[in-house]
Amino acid sequence: MPSDVEKTLAEFASEAARATWQYRAIAATRGNQSKLGTILIAILGRQRQTRPQFGSSATITSDGFVMSRFIGRDGEGHEGAFVCGVADLTRNFRGLADHLKLRDGERGEMFTALRQWIALDYRANKDLDL
């Protein structure tokens, strides 16, 4: 039986699709087998029925913590679950972009997708970090 990562990667069946930063990022983070991969799948809107999974949007609290709906491996849902701090999220995605050797345009697409995942931002200075 194919793993969750294999199912997600199967969507990128063509050679051209496998060259995309999205495919490479999911493969590098092992899909929902890692926290960063689970966040990435949520950001890209590629959630399936497999778990764990974060929600289709997130909120940044006034003190800089990222929160989202979360469903654990056991199927138990948690509204407003802690994801990580904004600084950690930014640092991890910069590290992923560096690891993948993304071009400027691809890096911009990745961070645009990340910003779009954030539905609400309660920080006073929203321009910092993300």
Total-model pTM:
0.83
Distance CA 65, CA 59 (A): 8
pLDDT at 107: 96
Which residue ranges of the chain lie beneath pLDDT 70? 1-14, 127-130
How far apart are alpha carbons 29 and 27 in whole angstroms? 6
Q: How far apart are CA 51 and CA 47, in angstroms?
A: 9
Strand extents, DSSP E, the chain: 53-60, 65-71, 77-85, 118-121
Given a contact cutoff of 8 angstroms between Cβ atoms, the answer to whether 7 and 26 are in contact is no
In a domain, 8, yes or no: yes
On whether residue 28 sits in a domain, the answer given is yes
Classify residue 129: in a domain, yes or no: no
Q: Is residue 128 part of a domain?
A: no
The answer to the question of residue 14 being in a domain is: yes
Answer yes or no: is 96 within a domain.
Answer: yes
For residue 44, give its domain range: 4-121
- pLDDT, tens only, 28-61: 999 889 999 999 999 999 877 778 999 999 999 9
Alpha-carbon 18 to chain mean position: 18
Predicted confidence at residue 108, as pLDDT, reads 96
In a domain, residue 126? The reply is: no
| pLDDT attached to residue 47 | 76
Q: Is residue 49 part of a domain?
A: yes
The structural domain count of the chain equals 1
Cβ–Cβ under 8 Å, residues 67 and 83 = yes
